[in-house]
């Protein structure tokens, strides 16, 4: 079976303040169709830069080097012309959920219109307005007619994150990137969003890449995990195998930190 995403020797070196930062430094990564893969590491490990580089969502940066390949269904996203990349995003390609919905949702546009603009083109059996409502219901929102008429600032953080997910799903992607999808949410809302992502992954059978610092999120969602540190992948393993017997000291430290955090939360 051909990989849905095949990243080969990706290097993303950035010029910043007169220095060169090797944000991603020779990374290989595979995502098979229908697989959920985690990329985990602390802040500055390169995990978000990796996803943004593959998705070509890096603006206002100066590259010292951008090399390697990011093959999506065999086509290199790093080499695509802008118009080809737009077509790929708009029709059954890949989408991304961001950490901060308020930074990406248009504050002056009603929610329904933002979902409408993201809908995949072409003929559909369902009328456009019903497609919008169906997406909002699919991500767990209620009273969708009301929600569609609201502006982002009129809704809670958890609702805004679900709207981001609905927008990402509107193009019917084969691959969904989720960058720290629960970080800005309280614990109860985090759990609900994770449950929503898990259900959507199972129902749609799409590939999913979860970028997170939280191994608890990886344990809840992912089949396999890549551990990143200093711009490099230090370990790749099945999720259960990683928790049972981490091979790299950095992976073991992340697991220990996750367990301590959980114990502290339970004791509070």
**Mean of pLDDT over the chain:** 92
Give the count of beta carbons closer than 10 Å to the beta carbon of residue 124.
Answer: 12
Angle at 83 between CA 204 and CA 68, to 5 degrees: 75
Asked if residue 104 is part of any domain, the answer here is yes
Report the alpha-carbon distance of residue 88 to residue 76 in Å, rounded.
11
Mean pLDDT comparison of 95-104, 121-130, 234-243, 254-263, highest-scoring range:
234-243
DSSP state of 224: E
Whether residue 263 is predicted with pLDDT greater than 80 in this model: the reply is no
**pLDDT, average across residues 252-263:** 83
Asked if residue 247 is part of any domain, the answer here is no
Asked if residue 148 is part of any domain, the answer here is yes
Give pLDDT, residue 207.
96
pLDDT digits (tens, 9 = 90+) for 117-172: 998 877 677 889 999 999 999 999 999 999 999 999 999 989 999 999 999 999 89
| Number of domains, the chain | 1
Report the alpha-carbon distance of residue 100 to residue 204 in Å, rounded.
24
Report the alpha-carbon distance of residue 153 to residue 167 in Å, rounded.
16
Model's pTM, two decimal places? Answer: 0.92
Asked if residue 31 is part of any domain, the answer here is no
For residue 95, give the 3-state DSSP assignment: strand
pLDDT digits (tens, 9 = 90+) for 206-252: 999 999 999 989 999 999 999 999 999 999 999 999 999 999 999 99
Give pLDDT, residue 32.
97
Q: Which of 66-75, 184-193, 238-247 has the lowest mean pLDDT?
A: 184-193
The pair of three-digit structure tokens given for residue 86, joined into one six-digit string: 């737009």
H or E stretch at 217: helix 215-221
Asked if residue 140 is part of any domain, the answer here is yes
Range of the domain at 154: 100-172
Asked if residue 153 is part of any domain, the answer here is yes
Asked if residue 158 is part of any domain, the answer here is yes
Check residues 39 and 59 and name the one with the higher pLDDT: 39
Q: What is the dihedral of CA 38, 42, 45, 47, to 10 degrees?
A: 30
Asked if residue 15 is part of any domain, the answer here is no
The pair of three-digit structure tokens given for residue 34, joined into one six-digit string: 């229908």
Give pLDDT, residue 101.
84
């Amino acid at each position: 079976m051909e990989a849905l995403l095949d990243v080969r020797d990706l290097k993303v070196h950035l010029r910043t303040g007169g220095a060169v930062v090797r944000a991603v430094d020779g990374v290989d990564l595979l995502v098979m169709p229908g697989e959920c893969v985690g990329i985990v590491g602390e802040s500055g490990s390169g995990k978000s830069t990796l996803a943004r580089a593959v998705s070509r969502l890096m603006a206002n940066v100066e590259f010292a080097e951008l090399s390697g390949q990011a093959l999506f269904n065999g086509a290199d996203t790093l080499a695509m012309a802008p118009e080809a990349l737009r077509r790929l995003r708009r029709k059954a390609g890949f989408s991304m959920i961001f950490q901060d919905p308020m930074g990406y949702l248009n504050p002056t546009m009603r929610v329904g219109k933002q979902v409408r603009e993201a809908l995949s083109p072409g003929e559909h059996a369902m009328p456009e307005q019903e497609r919008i409502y169906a997406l909002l219901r699919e991500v767990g929102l209620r009273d969708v007619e009301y929600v569609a008429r609201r502006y982002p600032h009129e809704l809670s953080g958890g609702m805004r994150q679900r709207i981001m997910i609905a927008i990402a799903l509107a193009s019917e992607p084969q691959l969904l990137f989720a960058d720290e999808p629960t970080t800005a949410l309280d614990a109860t809302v985090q759990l609900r969003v994770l449950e929503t992502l898990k259900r959507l992954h199972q129902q749609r059978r799409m590939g999913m890449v979860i970028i997170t610092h939280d191994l608890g999120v990886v344990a809840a969602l992912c089949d396999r995990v890549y551990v990143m540190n200093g711009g490099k992948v230090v370990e790749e393993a099945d999720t259960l195998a990683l928790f049972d017997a981490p091979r790299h000291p950095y992976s073991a430290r992340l697991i220990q930190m996750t367990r301590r955090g959980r114990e502290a939360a339970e004791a509070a």
